[in-house]
Amino acid sequence: MSLKDIFMKAARMRLASKASAPTAIDFIKDSPDLSLAFEDTELLVVDLEMTGLNAKEHEIISIGWVPIIRGDIKLAHARNLLIAPSKSVGESATIHGIHDRDLTDAMSLEEGLDILLIALKGRVMVGHHVSLDVAFLRQAAKQVYHHNLPFSVIDTLQIEAARLSRQGEHFDKQLLRLNNSADRYGLPSGDAHNALGDALTTAQLLLAQVAAIGMPSLTLKQLLKFSH
Amino acid sequence: MTEDIEIKEIKRFLQTLIPFDSLSPNALSKAATGLSIKYFSSQAKHVEIDYNNPNLYIVRTGAFEIRNSRQELIDRLGEGDYFGFQSLLTGQSVDNQVPILQDGLVYLIDQQLFSQLCNDSVDFERFFNRAHAKRLTNSPATIDDQAPVNLTIKHLVHQNVISMTSDCNVEQAALLMSEHRISSLLIIDNDELTGVLTDRDLRSRVLAKGLHGNAKIGSVMTKSPICIDINAMAFEASLLMSTHNIHHLPVLNNDKVIGMITTTDIIRSQNNQPIFLIGEIARVKDVDGLVAVSKKIPELLQSMIASDARAEEIGRVLTLVSDSLTRRLLILGEEKYGNAPMAYSWIVFGSQGRMDQTAGSDQDNGMILQREPNEDEAHYFKTLTQYVCGALDACGYIYCPGNIMAQTDKWRVDLSSWKGYFDKWVNTPSPQALLNASIFFDMRLLTGDQKLFDDLQLFVNGATKGNQIFIASMAGLAVSSTPPLGFFGKFVLERDGEENKVLDLKHRGVALINDIVRVYALHEGLSQANTQHRLNQLLGRKILSKNDVKSLKDALEFIADLRLKNQGAQYLANKPTTNYLKPKTVSRLLQHQLKEAFEVVHGAQKGLQSKFTRGMF
């Protein structure tokens, strides 16, 4: 364990000691082992649907995820939660297709976040343009637990950007969009703007990217580097 | 509603697959939400299958193969194809390997989920049980049963005992042998095989030793001959024959003689059918005989298709057979009507010229005469050509609908008239001239005077090479019909006579490539008529890149092969053979490859257009 790892672990423990909610404490304590190889580990590919792009102003209305367990996407453990927002979804319904009427029976943000954190415990989180999702999750954690949460994340968009820029040519940012990226690997692109559908497409994209990197027993740490 | 965990995209995909379409909506949802997804990279060479946890593998993207333990190809898989179900059904590990040809996503359904789906739908369960049985019978191990190496004596022996006793004399033996047209006799005394008497024995042990016809068989026969069991392999027989330098083996069934097997029987079994067919043609004495022999051509075609011969080889063999028929007919004709009063060349055009005949090809031929014939000579050639063309028609090479045949007066003329025809086609292009050109420019000498033909060929090459207007018109004709691909690479289907949606693999596939390559060949002044040979000659020339040549060669072989396989399937189903393929009847991988082949044709047409027709149309 490097000095930095020890320091990070200590910081996590300190965070956990301050947290009050048990799921948040468990989540913070059980950090993923980044030295493991990709095919020996468990990841959770997450996608959120929000009422807008500003974490301070807008709200999460859906959380979808699929786990990648030792290299396989396991649909049996996929989830797609609907979250009741405090305000109307408004105009954003045109983008995610979720209307206020769909959310009458939706769960609370507390409930949703708890279920997500249980699934995410000990796993690295994966997303496409994941920084936006992380910003919303941090904001939600502040609101629910009054506490900050540490996320280890892999961003398939960053992996794709690094790959395209290594190929030398200047490229259009449009090429990095989830469906465009999936197309380049000949992957089926799923139901756009559905949290679970996008999570699945992202998971398939990650598998294709790992294959394209082509390093035997690629570790999570190496993969994290590829995504920054 | 708090959750919606169904992924519509996966469900939609599964729904398109047989047998998933037979599942209840509930079971289909279960399948769509319960599967795992793996990604296989071609860097990994092949799929590692965990036989302790068997799964049904459903190919979503990419391309895979199934090979058995001997590395022989059993199946090729693409989108919507399955593997791994054998061990799922039998619970046993299978020695098959699954090489990864192209990276891809595969959906996995585990034992528990698979059982649930089988319980939901009888059709679902039946489908995989059948597929299991089919892949077993399709495995090369059983295909081998027809191949020489696994062929047993039982398949070859004529169970017909022709025998004598050893106290008969050799004259009687010789009479019996010539009566039955056989080269050896079994010698049986008191129900027991005591020897073998062969042609060679009569020669070396009777005649060469100065013995007479009254010599007893027992004194000259081969005693206690080497025998072979009826269940032995054919190759064991040929091994015995070659090690002991013998040509005949008595065949035993439970120690009882039931017949004889000869070297010829063994050779005949080794898939040398075309040679025998051509040999038979050479021996036939009349048209009826030729008609009888030509009835075996469909069978020959089918056995070549079944043995996976290359389309190019099949075309060549079929053409060699019709060439032999034509040659034989000309010999029989000259025997019947007397020797020809002057030298002539019998030339063939179109598919026979290109050597790519298939089932049901019509005849396209003509005759170059040494000089203008007088009235008697003209009458002679008219009679001879009517005899040959008529007999060809009776043999299944139907009369050319456009009358391009030597029996037509116009196409049975002297060299200078032929030159005149070609000159006119090349220098004053008209629609009819261009259509003629596409048939006549694929010409080949079948038999007769080489010099007459060479003279004409030289003239034609000189007239076309570098003739921009003519080449441009031919190029325009070559791109006037397009491969059946629409926007977004979808097949454009047409309707056949029975209102099925089909692809015409001849007119919108093979023929387009022939047309394209002909233009290049004429431009370069090549003398070859065969499209693959033309392409070989174009390799390394500036006019076409090496890659383009190779792609065209592959596309031609692929489409021609698919066309033949399709005709083979039609024949087996007792349907008339056509050029129409229903795309749904072939695997998704083949559909994909066919699209790629059509793309190559499309690209080549564009190239042709920009090279030769720029600014002309």
Q: What is the pLDDT of residue B251?
A: 93
pLDDT of residue A21: 73
- Please answer yes or no on whether A187 and B61 come within 8 Å at the CB atom: yes
∠ CA(B539), CA(B543), CA(B548), 5° rounding?
55
Q: Which of A38, A69, A73 should we substitute to test contact with B (largest number of B Cβ atoms within 10 Å)?
A: A73
Cα B239 versus chain centre, distance: 30
**Nearest-neighbour CA in chain B from A5: distance (Å):** 32
Query: Which value, to the nearest 10 degrees, does the dihedral of the CA atoms of residues A161, A165, A169, A172 take?
Result: 20
H helices, E strands: number in chain B: 26, 21
Q: Does A6 score more than 80 pLDDT?
A: no
CA distance B580 to B497: 10
β-partners of residue A66 are: A45
Q: Assign B77 to helix, strand or coil.
A: strand
Residue whose pair of structure tokens reads 């008209």 in the numeric block: B430
- Chain A, nearest residue to B37 by Cα: A73
Q: How far is B41 from chain A (nearest CA, A)?
A: 6
Helix B450-464 to helix B415-427 angle (10° resolution) is 20
Q: Taking 60 as the threshold, does the pLDDT of residue B272 lie above it?
A: no
**Of the ranges A9-18, A212-221, B428-437, B565-574, which one carries the lowest mean pLDDT score?**
A9-18
Element (H, E) at B163: strand B163-164
Interface of B with A (CB under 8 A): 1-5, 7-10, 13, 32-41, 43, 60-62, 103-105, 108
pTM exceeding 0.80: no
Q: Is A164 exposed, middle or buried (0-12, 13-18, 19+ CB in 10 A)?
A: middle
Inspect the interface and report whether the beta carbons of B7 and A79 lie closer than 8 Å: no
**B229 with B249: CB under 8 angstroms?**
no
Which stretch of B1-15, B27-41, B48-62, B142-156 has the lowest confidence by average pLDDT? B142-156
CB contact under 8 A, A75 and B36: yes
At residue B42's C-alpha, the angle toward residues B41 and B47, to 5°, is: 75
H or E segment to which residue B536 belongs: helix B531-538
A89-92 long-range contacts, CB within 8 A, separation 24+: A89/A51, A89/A61, A90/A51, A92/A50, A92/A51, A92/A52, A92/A58
Share of chain B above pLDDT 70, in %: 91
pLDDT for residue B134: 54
Q: Which residues, 6 or more positions from B253, have their beta carbon under 8 angstroms from its beta carbon? A: B229, B230
Contact B321, B300 (CB under 8 A): yes
Query: How far is it, in rounded angstroms, from Cα A99 to Cα A80?
Result: 16
**Best CA proximity match to B436, nearest among B506, B364, B513:** B364
Domain A3-226 has CATH 3.90.1150.10: no
Query: What is the band of B454 on the pLDDT scale with cuts at 50, 70, 90?
Result: very high
Q: Which of B85, B16, B76 is nearest to B56 (CA)?
A: B85
pLDDT higher than 80, residue B39? yes
Q: Which residue do the tokens 């995909």 mark?
A: B13
Give the span between the Cα atoms of B387 and B381, in whole angstroms: 10
Q: In 10 A of CB B617, how many CB atoms?
A: 11
Q: B473 near B374, Cβ under 8 Å?
A: no
> Please, are residues B69 and B147 in contact by the beta-carbon 8 Å criterion?
no
Residue B213, both tokens: 């016809």
User: How far is Cα of residue A61 from the mean position of the Cα atoms in its chain?
Assistant: 15
Neighboring chain A residues of B105 at a CB cutoff of 8 Å = 187-188, 204, 207
Name every chain B residue with its beta carbon within 8 A of the beta carbon of A196.
Answer: 4-5, 7
- Hey, CA dihedral for B8, B10, B15, B19, is it positive or negative? negative
What pLDDT, on the 0 to 100 scale, is given for residue A193?
Answer: 67
Rg, Å, chain B Cα set: 31
- CB atoms B2 and A81 under 8 Å: yes
Which chain A residue lies closest to B2 (C-alpha atoms)? A106
Q: What angle do CA B198, B204, B209 make, to 5 degrees?
A: 130
Please name each of the domains of chain B with its CATH number: 8-141 (2.60.120.10), 153-269 (3.10.580.10), 273-460 (3.30.460.10), 475-612 (1.20.120)
Residues B355-394 have pLDDT tens digits of 998 877 889 999 999 999 999 999 999 999 999 999 999 9
pLDDT digits (tens, 9 = 90+) for B521-554: 999 988 889 999 999 999 888 889 988 998 899 8
CA B70 to chain A, closest CA, distance in angstroms equals 28
pLDDT at residue B45, rounded to an integer: 83
If you count residue pairs, one on A and one on B, with CB atoms under 8 Å apart, how many are there?
91
Q: How confident is the model at residue A191 (pLDDT cuts 50, 70, 90)?
A: low
User: DSSP letter string over A120-177?
Assistant: HTTSEEEETTHHHHHHHHHHHHHHHHSS-----EEEHHHHHHHHHHHT-S---GGGGS
Q: B65-72: which pairs have CB atoms within 8 A and are 24 or more residues apart?
A: B65/B98, B65/B99, B65/B101, B66/B96, B66/B97, B66/B98, B66/B135, B67/B96, B67/B97, B67/B98, B67/B99, B68/B95, B68/B96, B68/B97, B68/B139, B68/B140, B68/B141, B69/B95, B69/B96, B69/B97, B70/B140, B71/B97, B72/B140
Q: What is the mean pLDDT of residues B83-96?
A: 78
Report whether B66 contacts B75 (CB < 8 A): yes
| Average pLDDT score over residue span A7-28 | 67
Domain boundaries, chain A: 3-226
